[in-house]
Structure 1
Amino acid sequence: MHAWIFPGQGAQRRGMGREVLDRYPERVREADGLLGFSVAELCLEGPEERLRDTRYAQPALFVVEALQVLAARDEGREAPGVLAGHSLGEYAALFAAGSFDFATGVRLVRRRGELMARGVPGGMAAVVGLGPEETAAALRACGAGGVDIANLNSPEQVVLAGPPHELDRVAAWLRQEGGGRRVRCLPLQVSAPFHSRYMRDAAEEFAVFLEDVTLREPRVPVIANATARPYGPDVAALLARQIREPVRWAETMDELRARGVEEPAELGPGTVLTGLWRARRRPAAPAPGAASASRTGPVPGTAPAPAPAAAGGGTVEGPEAVRAEDLGSAGFRRDYGLRYAYLAGSMYQGISSVELVLRMGRAGLLGFFGSGGLGPDRIEEALRTLADRSGPGRRFGVNLLHTPGDPRREAAVTDLLLRYDVPFVEAAGFTQLTPALLRARFRGARRDRQGRPVPGRRVLAKVSRPEVAALFAAPAPAPLIGKLVADGALTEQEADIARAVPVSTELCVESDSGGHTDAGTALALFPAIARLRRAAADGATPPVRVGAAGGLGTPEAIAAVFLLGADFAVTGSVNQCTPQAGTSDAVKEMLAGAGVQDTAYAPAGDMFELGARVQVMRRGTLFPGRAARLYELYRRHGSLDELDAGTLASLESQCFGRPVAEVWQETREYLARTDPGELARAEASPRLRMALVFRWYFVRSTRLALRGDPGGRVNYQIHCGPAMGAFNAFVAGTPLQDWRRRHVDEVADRLMTGAAEIADGYLRTVKRAQE
């Protein structure tokens, strides 16, 4: 297979593009107009300091490489079957693959250069003669915790990024501790620590910029720097990630070879990538004491090393280490389009907010909007925003909450999910299959060209009981499907697929958690439900995937569920204490101070009469005790009239903040508008009327918390599990101790990278024991 590859920043030099700039004058004028300077003058005459300036170097290099693409086509050169670019070079590869036109490419790299030039002060250095794992060990040994591995160029070359004084420390340590090996640490002429943690703000701003740019899935495979795998439809997300994550060039070369590439054609100034390709092809004996093999091949000994490639970086473990990207199911990550097998689960009343979900999506992750407790208008407003701002990748999910007493609401939410074509649905609270749930799953189902069933959308079911899990792990019952067809809710083709595939291919085992919970223990519950993976498989469809939720607030907990066999992990409580969460600052302050012992169980307002429970914050609020008192009064009495005057007075002062008569009048007016049938039943049943009045307190306590009402703090209802306290202990003494710095994607990164380190240590311990 033929391949074109494109170098990145660092390859630019005076005189570049001489052979193409005069050939395409209209394109050059177009670029000049967009950039505000003469590209030809800069490329051919300099000055050098401008060619080294990121703001000018990136667009100039892109223009030259894009024009070389046009020239190669006009000359009839063999078309590539695969493309790749190093850092900035990836934009030329995407242009060649048809992801965007020339003018769009110029605008993209101009903005990218501007944002990256505004990064924090720092620099980059190439380490030649050490592999990634040895370099990571050297960083730990010399205490350079602020330095990231930015480019993984080859088994004998990596690029570092970080503060200049720490890079100098690394260079000095390598000179002194090189162990007789020919190790060089060469500073690169760049103005910032690219492809590292220090580019996070630039990456976030670029992701927002990309929301208004039309990007198409490549027509020819383009291997992404961030994943070393081909781009899919998630072009925007990967381009944003690329700014702050390592350039995985050695793995990219492996991917090209796996596709049958023998010698790629390098389009752009210089031949640095060709040198890396040829050096990678040469066998090399491992150095004394070095690891003999890794994911990126043998660590070289004395074989000549190529010159450092263009600049790039991010924190990366050694090549044999378990990475956060390795945890869980690769198929799950592929099907959901994620870099981690990690989800931010929904939290009711929009606490899992639109902004939280969008931020997760921009980071290559997925969150579920919390639709529970919201009216149709609020939900539709959220879905409209998510659909408009999620970009071409459409990486967002929405919660569908089972409402046994109100099937009309369930149906209305499903209608919205279908109208806005929500790609991922989190089904929560279901104890049985319902028409609305099956419509959400199978409406729009079809068969692909190979005849394989493709359901309408993915439904991830939260379960805490094996019998409920079994319902989701099997196809829907034929009578229920038949009724949906008879009612016109599904077509015959959709029904045919519903009879053939499980209701859900992902089950999330929910152990003891915040909010509604069966208080299950993960060590007992997860293995029992995970066995359904094989028991439900019939060979015609893949087994269901099983993930874990509840109690996941530390890297240790995340690592534990993956070692138990979880395909993915779902967090909840910890995301409630982030800047993106849709609750009040007052609640976030309370959560940030919580310990693992600061939660309690209380009656659930939406299932009050059934005695269902939710787990809530205990510290700083009297809600658990007051809610329990209301439930006890309901159990012992048949009506409000049976309550003595003292009890009524205490309820009015402590719980309601107003007379009981006013509470009932407000409830009555609400039901008259929304559910006249329920109102009629309440007028005829004193006990139901009492229950509705008591349930009013649960609505009030939630609203007080969401608003952060300072006068109502003692009545705040805050759904929360002990994972919150565990996370607080984990980040104590770090910048994330302040909840204002706990961005939801940063929480994901900290938990998953920490879990990978723990899993790696465990596996190495096992291996040593076996040896």
Structure 2
Amino acid sequence: MKAVIFPGQGAQVKGMGRELFDAYPEQTERASDLLGYSIRELCLEDPRRELNRTEFTQPALFVVGALAHRRWREENGGEAAFYAGHSLGEYCALHAAGAFGFETGLRLVRRRGELMARAGGGGMIAVTGLGRDQVTQLLREGGFTTLAVANDNSPEQCVVSGDAEAIDELGRYLQARGLRWVRLRVSGGFHSALMRPAQQEFRRCLDSFDLGTPRVPVIANSTARPYAAGATAGMLADQIVQSVRWTETVRYLLDVGVTEFVELGGTVLTKLVEQTRAASRAPSPAPRAQHLGSAVFRERHGLRYAYVAGGMYRGIASPELVARLGRAGMLGFLGTGGLDPVEIERGIKEVQAALGPDGPYGVNFIADHDDPAAEEAVVDVLLRHGVRLVEASAFIRMTPALVRYRATGLRRGPGGEPVCGHRIMAKVSRPEVAAAFMAPPPDAVLDRLRADGTLTAEQAELARRVPMSHDITVEADSGGHTDGGIPTVLLPAMLELRRRVTAEHRYAEPICMGLAGGIGTPAAVAAAFVLGADYVLTGSVNQCTVEAATSDTVKDMLAGIDVQDTDYAPAGDMFELGSKVQVLRKGVFFPSRGNKLHALYTHYDSLDDLPAKTRAQLERTYFRKPLDEVWAEVARHLRATGRAELLAQAERQPKQKMALVFRRYFGYSARIALEGSPGDKVNYQVHTGPALGSFNQWVRGTPHEPWRRRHVDEIGLLLLDGAAEHLAAFSRP
């Protein structure tokens, strides 16, 4: 199978195209008339030394590439199986595949060249002998935050682009380390955020053309996959600012069976193809823990590993737990559900003191469906202490507090692009909620926050250009809140949703997608990455560690469970909605009692309607006090927390009063478990999933069987190293 490829800028040489101009004089003349100068003179003589200027280079390469393809097709009598082009060369590929005609293509590249030539202030460096991941690691270690890999050309060559001063500094940094590099003679930082103004204007230019879908597959620079139907204009607009993924493009073509690459319009790509082909023939190195998952995700959060520990309820994910993960190059979220703002603030200060200003950590931010003011109070704490990352849990809509957190962290970058100072990792189990997080904030919420002065005009405008979350954790059946999703069903569906959303919104920064739920063994971690997860998130396995802030009694119970020892019960914070949590079943009555309370709530309209025998049982075994006394405690709590309106509403509505009283049991059962109260162990509410049971079986007979030998970072490394070995075993012949 054959692929035809076209080079981009850098392939131009004086004298190119002579035979083509002679062979196709009419098309050459049409090009000259459209451009307003002689294309033949420019390419063959270059009397004004314009051939290396971007606004002239790009039309010249397009004309030569288009004519070279015409001759090739006439001589070979047919189409290639695939087309691809490097940067500007992608226009030649699209023209060859029938997406647009010769004159349309020439008009597009002329305008593209003009806009890119005007976008100065940047530079580019080619680094040889290193691959993309190695160059990216160098940029991170050197603190070159304004630079990015613009061209991933081969396993042995990358081009870095960005701010000119930073490019100069990078050259000195590479020189001091004895690395090979060369500063490219270009007018700007191509394929970087500095091209954002050019991209925006070029998008308007593209809107005036009717571009078709290629009739032969064309592999896009920005995705290393074939163009989708109807995506031509959007992909070309994005291409200006996104990296050219040429190594991946060649690998894709090799994987689908291409055996011959024909380069038209130059010779620079042939060497790059051979470097990638040679690397593909070499035995693949065994995967390592630090290479699992998405490099984009690791770089975004300053991590060594694509491994996350979720924020467990009521501070079980303690400051010590979060700090220990951060020091190991993993990401942990401080558990805040059920804590008041003072307690949350105390935990944040402990984490920041342990990790310093730049250490990786996040804070769990759980939705409060009863009290929007409580969400606002948490956001006040987050903003006051400069928290840059939150884990959004149990949100079913984009609330004003969540949007405020996201949008107040936005600023404009050097190229006009949005820079996200506040990030949200969203835990989702339903596609409609995932879609909301992958979309920009709702206009109505932004307008309201702008009108009351919470957001600036710039923040509101930038918020419409980014998703609510760049990181989506797909939560399959897990401990705590769960919809019981099956990971092999849920994650592929969510990945397809991400593809559609990304195509629609054309975000500059990619959305990463992780998997949670059932992650308790190396095989499960390996399966998550094979399914396409960018990272994994664990929960239950971390609850049974030295650092987890729950009672030793609970940890003793959890260390002995198997995969069948969990059950589902109503969620106390979403009791009326019928939402479920997965909890410990072995040795406790909480699941059956919780479900009994919800059944009573569904069947009866008030506490007074309960049968006397049932009420007596609740008072004796569930609450251990009269229900009237429980209600008095609820009323005092509502008054103390400033929710007199909710109290008044419950007094008028017996059904709501019953719900608030029943909820008291859920709070009580969680509290006594955390405290390890010995007198009422059967009522312990312990959120956990079967992943912990599978982990317990995996470590049985090893030093990690007793929970007092389990540390959260060591568990992460055990799982990742085991997953790498698992994947390596499958890759061996």
- Change in Cα spacing, 1:695 to 1:565, as seen in structure 2 (3 Å) is same
The amino acid that maps onto 2:601 is Y
Residues 140, 299 of structure 2: 8 Å contact kept? no
Match of 2:640 in 1: 673
- Judged with a 3 Å threshold, the aligned counterparts in structure 2 of structure 1 residues 694 and 479 are, in CA distance, closer, same or farther, namely closer
Amino acid at match of 1:551: G
User: Relative to structure 1, is the Cα distance of residues 552 and 686 closer, same or farther in structure 2, using a 3 angstrom cutoff?
Assistant: same
Q: Give distance in 2, aligned partners of 1:694 and 1:373.
A: 17
Q: 1:756 to 1:491 in 2, by over 3 A?
A: same
Could you tell me which amino acid in structure 2 is paired with residue 569 of structure 1?
A: V
Cα distance in 2 for partners of 1:459, 1:260 equals 34
CA contact 2:607–2:654 (8 Å) conserved in 1: yes
Find the partner of 1:609 among 568, 576, 579: 576
Partner of 1:598: 565
- 1:209 corresponds in structure 2 to none
Distance 1:516-1:234 versus aligned 2 partners, 3 A rule:
farther
Residue 704 (str. 1) matches residue 669 (str. 2): no
Matched residue of 1:595: which SS? coil
Could you tell me whether the CA contact under 8 Å between 1:559 and 1:759 is conserved in 2? Answer: yes
1:291-315 deviations in Å (ceiling 9; x for gaps)? xx99xx9xxxxxxxxxxxxxxxxxx
Q: Determine the structure 2 residue equivalent to 1:478.
A: 443
Identity score, percent: 51
Match of 2:319 among 354, 357, 360: 354
- Please report how far the alpha carbon of residue 261 of structure 1 lies from its aligned counterpart in structure 2 after TM superposition: 4.5
| Residues 427-456 of structure 1 deviation map (CA, whole Å, 9 limit, x = unaligned) | 111111111111111213112222221022
Deviation, structure 1 residue 464 = 0.8
1:721 equivalenced with 2:689 (yes/no): yes
Given candidates 663, 683, 686, the residue that maps to 2:651 is: 683
**Which residue does 2:149 correspond to in 1?**
none
CA contact (8 A) 1:394 1:423 kept: no
| Distance in 2 (alpha carbons) for counterparts of 1:403 and 1:339 | 33
Taking structure 2 as the reference length, the TM-score comes to: 0.62
**Paired position in structure 1 for 2:710:** 742
Q: Which residue of 1 aligns with 2:385?
A: 420
CA distance in 1, matches of 2:497, 2:355: 34
Pairing 1:238-387 to 2, within 5 Å after superposition: 261=175, 264=178, 320-387=285-352
1:542 deviates by 3.1
Matched, 1:576 2:525: no
Picking from 726, 729, 732, the partner of 1:758 is 726
CA distance in 2, matches of 1:468, 1:694: 28
After superposition, give the CA deviation of every residue in 1:130-167 in whole Å (9 maximum; x if it has no partner).
xxxxxxxxxxxxxxxxxxxxxxxxxxxxxxxxxxxxxx
CA contact (8 A) 2:547 2:711 kept: yes
Match of 2:374 in 1: 409
Match of 2:528 in 1: 561
* Conserved 8 A contact 1:402-1:410: yes
Matches within 5 A, 1:430-445: 430-445=395-410
Structure 2: gaps spanning 5 or more residues: 1-129, 144-155, 161-169, 180-274
Rounded to whole Å, the distance in 2 between the matches of 1:736 and 1:647 is 45
Q: What is the alpha-carbon distance in structure 1 between the residues aligned to residue 424 and residue 341 of structure 2?
A: 20
Note the C-alpha offset of 1:540: 4.5
Give the count of matched residue pairs: 477
Q: Whole-Å Cα distance in 1 between the matches of residues 539 and 177 of structure 2?
A: 48
Cα separation, 1, equivalents of 2:134 and 2:174: 19
The letter of the residue matching 2:319 is V
Structure 1 letter corresponding to 2:708: R
1:681 is matched by which residue type in structure 2? Q
Alignment of 1:654 onto 2:585: no
Query: Matched residues in 1 for 2:582 and 2:404: separation?
Result: 31
Give, in angstroms, the shift of residue 714 of structure 1: 0.3
Match of 1:505 in 2: 470
Confirm or deny: 8 A CA contact 2:319 2:351 kept in the other structure: yes
The separation in 2 between residues aligned to 1:597 and 1:257, in whole angstroms, is: 58
Quote the Cα distance in structure 2 between the aligned partners of 1:540 and 1:374. Answer: 35
Question: Aligned-pair distance for 1:648?
Answer: 1.8
TM-score (norm 1): 0.59
Contact 2:327 2:359 (8 Å CA) reproduced: no
Distance 1:233-1:483 versus aligned 2 partners, 3 A rule: farther
SS in 2 for 1:629: helix
Is 1:526–2:488 an aligned residue pair?
A: no
CA contact (8 A) 1:425 1:458 kept: yes
* Matched letter for residue 359 of structure 1: R
Separation in 2, partners of 1:461, 1:264: 42
- Cα deviation for residue 646 of structure 1 reads 2.0
Q: Distance in 2 between matches of 1:529 and 1:328?
A: 17
- Residue of structure 2 equivalent to 1:446: 411
1:568 positional shift: 0.6
User: Whole-Å Cα distance in 2 between the matches of residues 234 and 260 of structure 1?
Assistant: 10
Asked if the contact 2:403/2:445 (under 8 Å) is kept, the reply is no
Note if contact 1:534-1:543 (Cα within 8 Å) is conserved in structure 2.
Answer: no
Give yes or no for contact 1:652–1:658 (8 Å, CA) kept in 2: yes
Separation of aligned partners in 1, 2:139 and 2:708: 33
**Partner Cα distance (1:587, 1:227) in 2:** 44
**Aligned mates of 1:419, 1:641 — CA distance in 2:** 46
Structure 2 counterpart of 1:550, from 517, 523, 526: 517
Q: Tell me whether 1:466 sits opposite 2:434 in the alignment.
A: no
Letter in 1 for 2:463: A
CA distance in 1, matches of 2:573, 2:357: 37
Q: Do the aligned partners of 2:517 and 2:691 also contact (CA within 8 Å) in 1? A: yes
1:167-192 deviations in whole A, cap 9, x for unaligned?
xxxxxxxxxxxxxxxxxxxxxxxxxx
* Contact persistence 1:573–1:723 (CA under 8 A): yes
Q: Where does residue 357 of structure 2 map in the other structure?
A: 392
Matched residue, 2:599: 632
Give 1:631 deviation, angstroms: 1.2
Which residue matches 1:170? Answer: none
2:612 counterpart residue number: 645
Report if aligned partners of 2:562, 2:690 keep a CA contact under 8 Å in 1: yes
The superposition leaves residues 444-475 of structure 1 with CA deviations (integer Å, 9 ceiling, x where unpaired) of 31122222210221111111111111111122
Aligned residue for 2:315, secondary structure, equals coil
Q: Is the 8 A contact 1:424 1:457 kept in 2?
A: yes
Is the 8 Å Cα contact of residues 311 and 334 (structure 2) preserved in structure 1?
Answer: yes
Aligned residues of 1:583 and 1:705 also touching (Cα < 8 A): yes
Q: Give the direction of change, closer, same or farther, for the CA distance of 1:418–1:650 in structure 2 (3 Å limit).
A: same
Deviation at 1:754, TM superposition (A): 0.5
- Note the C-alpha offset of 1:611: 1.5
Please, which runs of 5 or more residues in structure 1 have no aligned partner? 1-222, 236-250, 266-292, 298-317
CA distance in 1, matches of 2:438, 2:625: 48
Q: Output the CA distance in 2 between the equivalents of 1:587 and 1:379.
A: 23
Contact in 2 for aligned 1:574/1:724 (Cα 8 Å) = yes
Q: Is the 8 A contact 2:398 2:442 kept in 1?
A: no
Q: How does 1:39-54 map to 2 (within 5 A)?
A: none
Displacement of 1:541:
1.6
Inter-CA distance 354–411: structure 2 relative to 1 (3 Å threshold): same
Q: In 1, distance between residues paired with 2:700 and 2:350?
A: 35
Give the aligned CA root-mean-square deviation in angstroms.
Answer: 2.9
* Corresponding residue SS for 2:483: coil
Cα distance in 2 for residues equivalent to 1:711 and 1:429: 32
- 1:690 and 1:233, CA in 2 relative to 1: closer, same or farther beyond 3 A? farther
Whole-Å separation in 1 of the counterparts to 2:652 and 2:176: 82
Matching residue's letter, 1:716: Y
Determine the structure 1 residue equivalent to 2:500. 535
The 1:327/1:648 distance shift into structure 2, 3 A limit, reads same
Q: Distance in 1 between matches of 2:491 and 2:171?
A: 40
